[in-house]
Amino acid sequence: MRINWNNIDTVLLDMDGTLLDLHFDNFFWLNYLPKRYAEIHNIPFKTANDQIHNLSIKTTGTLNWYSTTYWSKELSVDIYRLKKEISGLIKMRPFAQEFLEQLGLHKKKRVLVTNAHPQSLELKISVTQINSLLDNIYTSHQFHHPKESQKFWYALACQEKFDPEKTLFIDDSVNILQAASHYGIKELLGIKKPDSSQNSVEIEGFASIASFNEILPLA
């Protein structure tokens, strides 16, 4: 995988599944939350799992899907507190730190753009200190639209000045990569192994990498 870094001024980066291992999020939503939800409300695990699954389907692609506040209210549990219980699973993906450090050395602007709720973002920053390797951080919740929406990208452009022709955007979601492409961002890169505990997945229509060492060192 070769990138012409001479043509890149800004790198927009997703967080979960791109810079951070998606294993934490997958384990939380698919295993830990159903278990703790069942314990807290004294209901069968299957009932808890079904309720969470149905709510997930209902909110997919919306800000509520990512909102700890919304899920806490709907399930009558403290999602933030439950995430803190397993925060030891939060970690950066292979070579993510080295990649961010090299971007900084080569004077590329490093901007985090995430759908994560501010509470989740705060927790992950407290564990990884990833903010020290970034120039700016934006969550879609401050723009009231997820990255899947064109409204997000126009709102972002009002806050963060970048030239789409000289910008690289990296994300593990095909839908979000498509949205960025539709907005006009020229260079797009997918992450095909966002969860270290799972096999690689195909990122249809986009160049993709399993690890940042595939595009290191920056030339």
Per-residue pLDDT reduced to its tens digit, 18-54: 999 999 999 999 999 999 999 999 999 999 999 999 9
Domain 5-22+91-215 has CATH 3.40.50.1000: yes
| CA neighbor of 79 nearest in space, from 87, 88, 71 | 71
Strands (E), 121-185: 136-139, 167-171
| CA neighbor of 167 nearest in space, from 13, 10, 14 | 10
- State the Cα–Cα distance between residues 49 and 170, nearest whole angstrom: 31
So what's the pLDDT on residue 13? 98
So what's the pLDDT on residue 2? 83
The pLDDT tens digits for 188-214 are 999 999 999 999 998 999 999 999 999
Q: What share of the chain is helix, strand, coil (3-state, %, to 5)?
A: 50, 15, 35
Average pLDDT over residues 6-20: 97
Q: How confident is the model at residue 129 (pLDDT cuts 50, 70, 90)?
A: very high
- The number of angstroms, rounded, from the C-alpha of 112 to the middle of its chain's C-alpha atoms is 9
Write out the H or E segment, with its range, that includes residue 114: strand 109-114
So what's the pLDDT on residue 219? 74
